[in-house]
Amino acid sequence: MANERRRAGRFETLGAWLHVWTPARDVEVPPVPWRRILVIGLPLLALTAVGAWVALREADEAERERETTETRRDEQRAAATRARLLEDQALQTARVQPAPRAALVGALETAILADARGRTRRGDLEQAVERVECDPFPRTAPRRAAERDPSVESGRYHCLAVTRDIVGTHRGLLGYPFFARIHYGDGRLAWCKINPIPGEQAVPDPRQVATLPAGCT
């Protein structure tokens, strides 16, 4: 029969529905079964949406848990760093017989040298210390003014436990810094190791800041 039309096959029908294939005139393509698609597709779409929502919620909870864990670790590391700095900067004291003030400076240098070498033996300092040099603090003050003024009862010092001398064009010293105070009248000495903030950390983490004991400042 010349007018009989051929029914499109399954893939041909799908291609026609998706507009990726154009049927010939003698090919019959059934209409898109929108009602069946809606009956079947809507529940599937709803399930997909629910699954996506659950997955997003689980991912969000996992991210919050990861952030909480990381924050807790950061706080623990900061607390450990601060505790180490507080121990490293702990106040050290000694007392010697009253003596001329210049001699008390020498006694302070000897006491800090013994302390620094003890730290090296314990592994707290990496480099061996050769000697200690103490200068009045602040450096802008008239040099040795406190030592020459009988009305001044104590003097502050910046001391360096020297590990190496820099020689050549730019001379200098390398070592571990300390703050110290001498009470001239009774020979009391007090000192603390200090840990300057590295230049790249000009704004330190406040959780890691360890202030010096009052006896050193």
pLDDT tens for the chain, 217 residues long, are 455 667 767 767 766 667 766 777 777 777 777 777 777 777 777 778 777 888 888 888 888 888 888 888 888 888 888 888 889 999 999 999 999 999 999 999 999 999 999 999 999 999 999 999 999 988 766 667 778 888 889 999 999 999 998 887 778 899 999 999 999 999 999 999 998 876 555 666 777 777 778 877 7
pTM equals 0.65
How many other C-beta atoms can be found within 10 angstroms of the C-beta atom of residue 158?
16
- What is residue 142's predicted lDDT score, i.e. its pLDDT? 66
Instruction: Annotate 85-103 with b (16+ C-beta within 10 A) or e (fewer).
Output: beeebeebebebeeeebee
Whole-angstrom distance, CA of residue 169 vs CA of residue 57: 65
